[in-house]
Amino acid sequence: MLISPKRRSHTLNSSAYVQLLDLAKYFGKVKALDGLTLDIAEGELVALLGPSGCGKTTALRALAGLQELDRGAMIVDGQDVTFQKASNRGMGMVFQAYSLFPHMTARENVEYGLRLRVHKTSGQKRKARSAELLELVGLSTHASHYPYQLSGGQQQRVALARAIAISPKVLLLDEPLSALDAKVRTQLREEIRRIQVELGTTTLFVTHDQEEALGIADRVGVMRNGQLEQIAAPAELYDRPKTAFVAEFVGLTNPIAGKVSGGSIEILGGVVKTLPGSITSGSGIALVRPESIDVVASKSGNATVFSASFLGATCRLTISMRDGARITAQLPSPDATGLGAGAGVNVSLLDIPVFVKAAG
Amino acid sequence: MRQTIGVKIWRWSIISVVAFYLVVPLYAMFDFSTKPFGFADSGRTFRAWALIGTQENLIEAVTRSLITAAIVMALILFLVVPTAIWVQLKLPLLRRPFELLCLLPLAIPAIVIVVGIAPLYRWISINLSESPITLAGVYSMLILPYTYRSLSAALDAVDIHTLAEAATTLGAGISRVIFGIIMPTIKTGIINGSFIAIALVLGEFTISNILNFKTFQVVIAQIGRTNGHVAVAVSLASLLFVVVLLLLIPTKKRQGAVLDVDLT
């Protein structure tokens, strides 16, 4: 994970470079956007994360000018762009589907936006710029290749270079990695981050893949039903979710019932603090992260291992509790040595605050 | 390896059968056109071919038909294709009605069309022009079913929405998107559609004959009435001419450059 210390210091503030204010878009009864408000600081990479139909792509397309809105305003660099045509907004966009112009070479694709600029860039400068950008995305040797001669990952790199070529006010990435295989996806994800940090381009990245979002974004916004459920730095979002939806959507959780009182919950024979936003009293369901569960081998313990999956650095155990409930725990692989299926274990909670939602 | 040879044999068998099917009538035409048809002739003679140049109206008819074909092609490029793209991109609800409209000429017999448009052409002949080139109007309607089919197939094969949006975000206006991005992308479909259209225009007989316009086919038919050998020679020559035209299809690169114009 590449993290720029400079960008880490960004917080929501009035000096936002991009402001989305109360955006709403309704398709019949479906609320694609229902009062979305979001600020992005200059040079920041914000990822919008959420399930299908949560409105994340609609938000991105609205900012690009490709989606008309029913309500709301969008301000970029102090300018109201709400009613500006997409072709005049100066946004660079990379699409989920391969979008290179098939009749142009990689270089011509990258140069396309430059050729259309109002102050037409001279041929010489254009060539230099496209060469520089293809170099940046590691494809200088493929400049004269046509899209059909490039792999999916290479096509998306060229698309990225093409979007950056026009020095966009905001770089918009609409699930650019979802059509790629896992290895290329991880590699390209990190490259996108490297390039974004290098150029300092303000970026909005839409994805349904939480690993992608948490892996490269300065802040991640979780969307649901057209609204922003929570926006925070990846670690905060993961460790301190403010709603049950965020806790359950980001990362894995084990729902474990317990009794809440005085800002704590009693579960698995222990007491842990609850996070702000949790219910404050009565029966609740704690949403416990697999890594917050401590598992120790013990023949007279309170559970048995049902199955174990080795994931490399960590090991994931599915554990059957005495009452028949199943929970998932994740331990560093060395700690899980000998904990195979059927092994007796004692399960307890680490002292990490948990989010608690109301039971039922 | 064995499979490859099998495929090769299969492929060449098909090509041979098709070639045979196409070549036999052509050879028959050639054979007929070189047979003696006067008292002085014997054996093979190329008199029919030599007579092509002396035929009245022929050169004018060919020129007019070619100009008509060029106008029809221009109408396809600058009217039909952009409209089809526009409907696909911006008015998806009109896709079905548009398709139906384009296929309609196929369902109406040529004779019915002639009866319908005869008064219109009478008016055109009196008030505008008597030139057969005015037939370009009715021809561009007749070719719609064929052109639309090949365009529609080409448009369906590409994600033109994403391409259009990508070009738009890079600063392209709608005309640039249509002429600079989508048209070069579906150029194979456009070329196919255009050639079907040209073939149709150069081969159309019913309408031009009934409306009394001296187009290429009408003149060939007239020659045929006086001398069948010359008519067949002209037909074969015109076929060869079309083959040459086809061989002159613009290369991929050149075609892209030609269409990459900005009208904004």
What single-letter amino acid sits at B122? R
pLDDT at B69: 87
Task: Please check whether residue B14 lies inside any domain of the structure.
Answer: no
Query: Each residue of B198-249: pLDDT tens digit?
Result: 888 888 888 888 888 888 888 888 887 888 888 888 888 888 887 787 677 5
Scanning every residue of chain A, which has its alpha carbon at the shortest distance from the alpha carbon of B255? A103
For chain B, say whether A88 makes contact (Cβ under 8 Å): yes
Query: Each residue of A111-142: pLDDT tens digit?
Result: 999 888 756 667 888 889 999 999 988 899 99
pLDDT at A2: 37
Count up the domains in chain B and report the number.
1
Q: Do B166 and A86 count as a contact with CB atoms less than 8 A apart? A: no
pLDDT at B109: 86
Residue ranges of chain A assigned to CATH 2.40.50.100: 253-358
CA distance B88 to chain A (A): 16
Task: Please check whether residue B76 lies inside any domain of the structure.
Answer: yes
Report whether pLDDT(A292) > 80.
Answer: yes
Q: Do A101 and B181 count as a contact with CB atoms less than 8 A apart? A: yes
Nearest partner of A91 among A157, A173, A184, A182, judged by Cα: A173
Q: What is the CATH number of domain A5-244?
A: 3.40.50.300
pLDDT at B40: 64
Q: Do A103 and B167 count as a contact with CB atoms less than 8 A apart? A: no
Q: What is the ipTM of this complex?
A: 0.84
The whole-angstrom separation of Cα B141 and Cα B144 is 5
Query: Which tokens hold the place of B192?
Result: 């196919």
Task: Please check whether residue B150 lies inside any domain of the structure.
Answer: yes
pLDDT more than 90, % of chain A:
61
Interface test with B, best of A57, A66, A93, A116 (most B CBs within 10 A): A116
Dihedral sign computed on CA atoms, order A122, A125, A131, A137: negative
The whole-chain average pLDDT of chain A stands at: 89
3-state helix, strand, coil in chain A (%, to 5): 30, 35, 35
Confidence label for A316 from pLDDT (cuts 50, 70 and 90):
very high
For range A184-193, the mean pLDDT: 90
Q: Determine the distance from the C-alpha atom of residue A148 to the mean position of all C-alpha atoms in its chain, rounded to a whole number.
A: 30
Which of A57-61, A232-236, B222-226 has the weakest average pLDDT?
Answer: B222-226
Query: Each residue of B110-164: pLDDT tens digit?
Result: 888 888 888 888 888 888 877 778 888 888 888 888 888 889 999 999 999 999 9
Task: Please check whether residue B31 lies inside any domain of the structure.
Answer: no
Report whether pLDDT(A203) > 50.
Answer: yes
Task: Please check whether residue B162 lies inside any domain of the structure.
Answer: yes
For range A79-83, the mean pLDDT: 94
Q: Which residues of A touch B188 (CB under 8 A)?
A: none
* CATH number for the domain that contains residue B221: 1.10.3720.10
Scanning every residue of chain A, which has its alpha carbon at the shortest distance from the alpha carbon of B183? A103
Task: Please check whether residue B219 lies inside any domain of the structure.
Answer: yes
Query: Each residue of B174-207: pLDDT tens digit?
Result: 999 999 999 999 988 888 888 888 888 888 888 8
For chain B, say whether A87 makes contact (Cβ under 8 Å): yes
A228 beta partners: A223
What single-letter amino acid sits at B28? A
The whole-angstrom separation of Cα A223 and Cα A59 is 10
Domain that holds residue B95: 57-259
For chain B, say whether A91 makes contact (Cβ under 8 Å): yes
pLDDT at A273: 92
3-state secondary structure at position A308? strand
Task: Please check whether residue B23 lies inside any domain of the structure.
Answer: no
Residue ranges of chain A assigned to CATH 3.40.50.300: 5-244
Report whether pLDDT(B258) > 50.
Answer: no
Q: Which residues of B touch A98 (CB under 8 A)?
A: 159, 162
pLDDT at A141: 93
Which of A63-67, A262-266, B8-12, B48-52 has the weakest average pLDDT?
Answer: B48-52
Confidence label for B2 from pLDDT (cuts 50, 70 and 90):
low
Q: Please determine, looking at this structure, whether the domain spanning A253-358 carries the CATH number 2.40.50.100.
A: yes
pLDDT at B41: 65
Q: Determine the distance from the C-alpha atom of residue A224 to the mean position of all C-alpha atoms in its chain, rounded to a whole number.
A: 14
Task: Please check whether residue B171 lies inside any domain of the structure.
Answer: yes
Report whether pLDDT(A4) > 60.
Answer: no
